[in-house]
Structure 1
Amino acid sequence: MAGISSLGIGSGLDLNGLLDQLRSAERKQLEPLTRQVAQQEAKISAYGRLKSGVDKLQNAAAALNDSALYQKLSASVQGDGLSASVSESASPGSYDIAVTSIATAGSLATTRVDSLEDSLTDAGATLDLDFGDGSTYSVSLEADSTLEGIRDTINADADAGVDASIINDGSGHRLVLSSRDTGADAGITGMTFNGLSAGVTLGEDAATARLGKDAELDINGITITSATNTVEEAIQGVTLTLSPEAEGNTLSLTVSQDKEAAKEAVTKWVSAYNQLQSTIGRMIKPGTDDTSAGELIGDSTVRTLESRMVRDLTSSVPGGDFSLLSELGISLNEKGRLEIDDETLDAAIADSPQGVADFFAGDSEEAGMAGVFNATLEQALDDKGMIGNAIEGAESRVDSLKERFTRMETSIERTIERYRKQFAALDGMIAQMNQTTNYLTQQFDALSAQLGRKK
């Protein structure tokens, strides 16, 4: 019999269904590999979250390991209208600052123009500006410019030194020029129009002049002037910023050690450590009836990392006012989290700032507790460190499992193809047998009929 194109046609058996059942049964061999791949990929993801947490903690530890942190100064101001910031070059000190005046920009208005529609200039017209430092500047004006056109031309000129606006005083329109910078030198002192149209009278109105003014202040008896309200380096390393409320007032400025900076850095480090411990806790939790086990339960990488961190936290740091973390009010609780006794830490920073610096930062990169702790985390984060090796190992296992999966899947398909060929042969054989049976039945029926007629 010719080849059968679809299984079961010749025999009437559901051979396709049987083949599907055999395929499903064979593919069950792949399920353990699929589960193992999923487990390893979950581990890789967990290692990534672990690495992120360790990286955040390492950054916090590196900040504690910076000796400049403990030398940082802050500025405190009593009174309104003055703010101050300090740089590394500042020194502690107290200052009385009497502000006589703040810096202002100059302004000057023109005489009135009746209509904004009037053309005011001929070709080649200019506006010449005078400034407090004796300098001048000329703005070229287009022919037939209105007051609004003059305003727009001035504002479009980046070098003009003034901004222009228009004010209606109830009797007419005035062009008002305001210095872009504060201070006496930058203030506008005069303006002259050249090339105005016939019959146009437009010039400065001296009565409206407001000269630019420098800021003037007295710092511990020393008079200081500044063209701007940002006074830099009058006190070394200190920048003062004046606002109108300061004018006519005497204010107090104190530059002192920034105790909050050190405490904030310690708090961030403690918070980062506790967050990492929470992350680890979720990864190593045992499973229950309602929840699955953590991805890294029983993982040696996590146990090693935790062991090394606890070792660093509890080790003694020799040679300073403080030798143990607990002496600064920082301790491990029964849950493995760090806790801060604010009163003890505040007292340590206030009474012995250098001792706190020696404990955390030491006199070299890895001499203090933070330096040792930071080095441990850097080793863990290194490409060939414990986390990197764990990720690499899990990725290698995933690759190996996927290769086994592919090989086994190919083997299964070969087995199924062999079954298919065997079923096709069976289908053909049964079809031939059915055909022979039908033929013999017909022959026996015919013979029986002939014998019946002879009787």
Structure 2
Amino acid sequence: MTTTSATSSTSATSKLVSALGGGSGIDTASLAEQLAAAQFASRLDQLSARGDKLTTQISAASTLKSMITTLASSFGDRVRTGDLAVNPQIANSAVATVTKGALTGSGTSSLEVTSLAKGQTLTTPSYAAGSTATVGSGTLTLRFGTISGTAFTADAARAQVDITVAQGATLDDVASAINAKGAGVTAYVATGTSGAQLVLKGGDGAANAFVLEAAEDPLDPGLADLAWTPAAGTARLKTAASDAAYVLDGVARTSVTNTITDAAPGLTLKLTGTNVGNPTTISFSDPASAIQTAMGDLVSALNEMMSELNKDTDPTSGTLNNDAGTRALRRSLSSLALTKVMPSAAAGDPSTLSDLGLKTNRDGTFALDTTRLSATLAASPTGAAAMFTTGLFGVYATLDKTARAVASSTDSSSLGGSVARMTTLQSALAAQRADLQTKQEDLRTKLVSRYAALDSRLSNSKSTLSFLQAQVAAWNAKSN
């Protein structure tokens, strides 16, 4: 009986200890963390999944946006090199440089330059004292017009320019005063073997000739020495003002400057030398081969984009299969071939990319109709070349306009708008996730606090249990 009673008591004690958690070693901090995590795990996982999907979508949309932007930019660089346009070329580059004008030229032209446009160069008498020599005081007057021999004909439409020269003024001071007027005549002091003298230079063209008059102060004479008119002789006239003279396509012409922007359709001249009696030839390049290569490269780039677009819009696996901006890009590309890129093209001239051979297949991909492109280049080579410019219209302008529309972040129906919308949503999800994580941490902190109090009470219960165990042991000892 005694043994049985002792055994029962020991068993009861063990159960009590077990029930009170004695010696169990529970990690309340870890338990709190796990319970808090479990409380928010589902919602955090959902936010993470949505965030990951948005990251993938933003990446795919940004790739498409970058592809169309890069295509437009690269095509613009290609156009700017000039090999896709009809460009003038001159056989004798010492006579002139030739550039393409607003229009497109063709055929060949002959050019003979008999004289270049020049500005008048006038000097003053030399002063042995140098640039600081005083010249007297009073007023210098510039008058503009034309000079023929010893005669000067004033231009009534141009006002005279008066330059006040103060007492004690030097050559340097006079040069500065003339330049300050900004009247088309510049001056500087040149020091030569005989001393210092003013050099005055006028603008190009015979109509920019000038005379220099002086009204000197009688009490401070000397300024009259600077004055000059053609009647005084040509010793101080180092270069006479003259127009350029040239013969283009057999027609004699003149120009007040050496840069002639309206020489002929598609042709701008900058005269640099003369070739009297030995005309040179100006011709225009044929960009047909370069255009064919460029169109082939364009088709390849568009098909690369379509491949990416088809992958992203696949009904079952496409990342952007329900995105409005991506659908808008597909619509733009599908209508590209028939878009009028030259709305003001003359009848018979090419005006669309389809005229240059761009063809849209049934599956949305592109192909190059080389037969149609060759026919266009043969029938209207200048019209085809005119489509490859950096102006408001043309192939590049159309691609650039498409790229800008696609990339616009303010248009909710564009690809750029989709990226902006998804980026905003991604930021909102990140904020929600941060808020849930804060709440999770708050819950963990509360649970840790509660379990700490429970652990304290459990610790007190263990002390009571130890006392009871000692009493039970004492009772058992007495019974034995």
Range of TM-score over shorter length: 0.5 to 0.7
For residues 49 and 425 of structure 2, what CA distance do their matches in structure 1 show?
13
Q: Deviations over 1:161-194 (max 9, x none)?
A: 2111222221211111111x10111133555473
The answer (yes or no) to whether the contact 2:329–2:406 under 8 Å persists in 1 is no
Normalising by structure 1, we get a TM-score of 0.64
Matched, 1:171 2:194: yes
For residues 71 and 166 of structure 2, what CA distance do their matches in structure 1 show?
64
92, 95, 98: which one aligns with 2:112: 98
SS at structure 2 position matched to 1:156 = helix
For residues 306 and 199 of structure 1, what CA distance do their matches in structure 2 show?
79
Q: Equivalent residue for 1:65?
A: none
For residues 375 and 109 of structure 1, what CA distance do their matches in structure 2 show?
57
For residues 176 and 380 of structure 2, what CA distance do their matches in structure 1 show?
59
Greater mean alpha carbon deviation, residues 94-103 or residues 242-251 = 242-251
Deviation of residue 433 (structure 1)? 2.7
1:260 and 1:130, CA in 2 relative to 1: closer, same or farther beyond 3 A?
farther
Greater mean alpha carbon deviation, residues 255-264 or residues 227-236 = 255-264
The answer (yes or no) to whether the contact 1:121–1:195 under 8 Å persists in 2 is no
Q: Equivalent residue for 2:209?
A: 187
Letter aligned with residue 154 of structure 1: I
Greater mean alpha carbon deviation, residues 50-59 or residues 216-225 = 50-59
Matched, 1:141 2:165: yes
For residues 397 and 168 of structure 2, what CA distance do their matches in structure 1 show?
74
Q: Equivalent residue for 1:4?
A: none
For residues 117 and 61 of structure 1, what CA distance do their matches in structure 2 show?
57
Deviation of residue 264 (structure 1)? 7.5
1:200 and 1:216, CA in 2 relative to 1: closer, same or farther beyond 3 A?
closer
For residues 155 and 371 of structure 1, what CA distance do their matches in structure 2 show?
44
Q: Superposition pairs for residues 39-438 of structure 1, below 5 Å?
A: 39-54=53-68, 74-80=87-93, 81-87=95-101, 92=106, 94-116=108-130, 118-123=132-137, 125-133=138-146, 134-135=154-155, 136-159=160-183, 161-179=184-202, 181-190=203-212, 192=214, 194-195=216-217, 197-198=220-221, 202-203=225-226, 206-209=234-237, 210-235=239-264, 238-244=267-273, 249-254=278-283, 259=288, 263=292, 266=295, 269-270=298-299, 272-273=301-302, 276=305, 299=321, 347-353=374-380, 383=411, 385=413, 387=415, 391=419, 394=422, 398=426, 405=433, 409=437, 412-413=440-441, 415-416=443-444, 419-433=447-461, 436=464
For residues 199 and 406 of structure 1, what CA distance do their matches in structure 2 show?
88
- Aligned residues, how many? 397
Deviation of residue 107 (structure 1)? 0.1
Deviation of residue 146 (structure 1)? 1.2
Letter aligned with residue 75 of structure 1: P
Greater mean alpha carbon deviation, residues 215-224 or residues 230-239 = 230-239
For residues 188 and 398 of structure 2, what CA distance do their matches in structure 1 show?
63
The answer (yes or no) to whether the contact 2:60–2:320 under 8 Å persists in 1 is no
For residues 379 and 454 of structure 2, what CA distance do their matches in structure 1 show?
94
1:283 and 1:89, CA in 2 relative to 1: closer, same or farther beyond 3 A?
closer
Deviation of residue 211 (structure 1)? 0.6
Letter aligned with residue 123 of structure 2: A
For residues 135 and 337 of structure 2, what CA distance do their matches in structure 1 show?
84
For residues 401 and 106 of structure 1, what CA distance do their matches in structure 2 show?
75
For residues 415 and 60 of structure 1, what CA distance do their matches in structure 2 show?
56
Greater mean alpha carbon deviation, residues 404-413 or residues 39-48 = 404-413
The answer (yes or no) to whether the contact 2:334–2:360 under 8 Å persists in 1 is no
Deviation of residue 232 (structure 1)? 3.7
Letter aligned with residue 182 of structure 2: A
1:194 and 1:404, CA in 2 relative to 1: closer, same or farther beyond 3 A?
closer
1:377 and 1:232, CA in 2 relative to 1: closer, same or farther beyond 3 A?
closer
Letter aligned with residue 170 of structure 1: T
For residues 383 and 133 of structure 2, what CA distance do their matches in structure 1 show?
75
Where structure 1 has 5 or more consecutive residues not aligned to the other structure, the ranges are 1-10, 63-70, 285-294, 362-368, 449-455
31, 40, 50: which one aligns with 1:36: 50
1:412 and 1:168, CA in 2 relative to 1: closer, same or farther beyond 3 A?
closer
The answer (yes or no) to whether the contact 1:107–1:188 under 8 Å persists in 2 is no
Deviation of residue 195 (structure 1)? 3.7
Where structure 2 has 5 or more consecutive residues not aligned to the other structure, the ranges are 1-23, 77-83, 147-153, 339-347, 389-394, 476-480
For residues 170 and 373 of structure 1, what CA distance do their matches in structure 2 show?
64
Letter aligned with residue 182 of structure 1: D
Deviation of residue 228 (structure 1)? 0.5
RMSD: 5.6
Q: Percent identity?
A: 24
The answer (yes or no) to whether the contact 1:98–1:218 under 8 Å persists in 2 is yes
Greater mean alpha carbon deviation, residues 108-117 or residues 81-90 = 81-90
Deviation of residue 260 (structure 1)? 7.1
1:236 and 1:348, CA in 2 relative to 1: closer, same or farther beyond 3 A?
closer
For residues 87 and 297 of structure 1, what CA distance do their matches in structure 2 show?
48
Q: Deviations over 1:135-165 (max 9, x none)?
A: 4432222321111121122222212x21112
For residues 308 and 150 of structure 1, what CA distance do their matches in structure 2 show?
70
